[in-house]
């Protein structure tokens, strides 16, 4: 089976069926921006077009972001693989990113930095946040039908201890992702906030996320609705656990952490080799009180039913955090040790909804 790096290299120009899906060839798009117009037939002055083959306003996503000053701009991105890092400044409020074909497999933003990757200027390594392929800082960001990926591989760097490799870090309030894919291994999707004092609301709907260790993590008040989480097999470990799906680091003052609903968790690993979550209490915020609710979701056999939760740091056991489940189904949701699977009551579940998380925001 091809590695993710090989697969992503082929995505924009091959019809080969891969584990990651079958992409439409870039050459099959005579209208690279589909129904979204073109530089010659611009939808409005706020819209910019990105195409690696030169048929748009810009050939890279970062160049388009740099040009999209002000608020309420839209970037329409043609099918292709954009191998670059992208940093979206906080002042691009209300920015919209659209994959033009409507299929997220066609439009891929990917790079391969890891925590332990040396910076070119010799100032040290990138660290976890710096490893992100895309860093999305603005409030009101919307993204549709795009793939965000980090294809750094442990096997290529056996000497690295910093193996976190983020596909996207999102810190803005009212950030919304629909029909997007997030590909990586460790720390794929970093749903975070700009500071401890900010409770950033984020919405992920009909998205696909894959990885192995803590691959959905961070401090945001994030709702993950109708999403597919895929845990990956590992060849560098002899036995379980291979990793954890969720690692929230919710601020102690924030009443809302991660809410997962109407979703599913599947696995390429043997049964029981993954845990559902563990709490992350970072050294920069020892007052964190991680929160995760998983409800009305299907948990596959890859989840360890006896001990579905783990502890990341001594002194901060998962039992002291805000972890709960409600009406989950599937072999991974089977309650074999009741003390290890805290359940919401029906009354409590009525408070664990997107409306409660979002308040006055309707994504």
Nearest to 162 by CA among 148, 171, 152: 152
Q: Is 296 a catalytic residue?
A: no
Residues 6+ apart with CB under 8 A from 345: none
Q: Is 214 a catalytic residue?
A: yes
In the block, which residue shows the tokens 């997007």? 180
Out of 57, 106, 187, 254, which one is annotated catalytic? 187
Nearest to 7 by CA among 23, 26, 25, 29: 23
Nearest to 215 by CA among 197, 226, 229: 229
Out of 214, 225, 254, 304, which one is annotated catalytic? 214
On the CB side of 296, CA atoms within 13 Å amount to: 13
What one-character DSSP code corresponds to residue 303?
B
Distance (Å, whole) CA 234 – CA 211: 10
| Strand ranges of the sheet holding 147-150, from the earlier edge strand across to the other edge | 80-83, 107-111, 147-150, 181-183, 208-211, 228-231, 264-267, 298-299
Distance (Å, whole) CA 172 – CA 130: 17
Give the active site residues: 187, 214
């Amino acid at each position: 089976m091809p590695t993710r790096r090989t697969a992503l290299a082929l995505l924009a120009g091959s019809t080969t069926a891969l584990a990651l899906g079958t992409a439409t060839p870039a050459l099959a798009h005579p209208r690279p921006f589909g129904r979204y117009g073109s530089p010659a037939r611009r939808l409005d002055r706020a819209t910019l077009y990105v195409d690696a083959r030169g048929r748009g306003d810009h050939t890279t996503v970062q160049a388009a972001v740099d040009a999209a000053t002000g608020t309420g701009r839209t970037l329409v991105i043609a099918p292709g693989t954009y191998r670059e890092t992208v940093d979206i400044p906080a002042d691009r409020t209300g920015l919209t990113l659209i994959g033009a074909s409507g299929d997220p497999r066609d439009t891929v933003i990917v790079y391969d930095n890891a925590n332990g990757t040396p910076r070119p200027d010799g100032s040290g390594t990138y660290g976890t946040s710096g490893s992100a392929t895309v860093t999305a800082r603005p409030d009101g960001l919307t993204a549709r039908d795009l793939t965000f990926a980090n294809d750094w591989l442990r096997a290529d760097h056996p000497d690295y201890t910093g193996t976190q490799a983020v596909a996207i870090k999102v810190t803005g309030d009212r950030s919304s992702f629909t029909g997007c894919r997030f590909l990586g291994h460790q720390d794929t999707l970093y749903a975070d906030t700009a500071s401890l004092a900010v409770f950033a609301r984020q919405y992920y709907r009909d998205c696909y996320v894959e990885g192995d260790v803590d691959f959905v993590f961070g401090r945001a008040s994030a709702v993950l609705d109708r999403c597919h989480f895929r845990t990956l097999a590992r060849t560098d470990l002899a036995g379980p656990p291979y990793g954890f799906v969720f690692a929230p680091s919710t601020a102690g003052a924030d009443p809302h952490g991660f809410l997962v609903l109407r979703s599913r968790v599947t696995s390429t690993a043997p049964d029981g080799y993954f845990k559902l979550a563990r709490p992350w209490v970072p050294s920069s915020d020892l007052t964190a009180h991680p929160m995760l609710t998983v409800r009305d979701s299907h948990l596959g056999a890859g989840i360890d039913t006896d001990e579905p939760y783990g502890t990341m740091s001594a002194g901060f056991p998962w039992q002291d955090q805000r972890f709960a489940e409600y009406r989950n189904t599937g072999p991974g949701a089977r309650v074999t040790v009741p003390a290890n699977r805290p359940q919401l009551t029906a009354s409590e579940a009525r408070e664990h909804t997107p409306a409660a998380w979002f308040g006055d925001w309707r994504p």
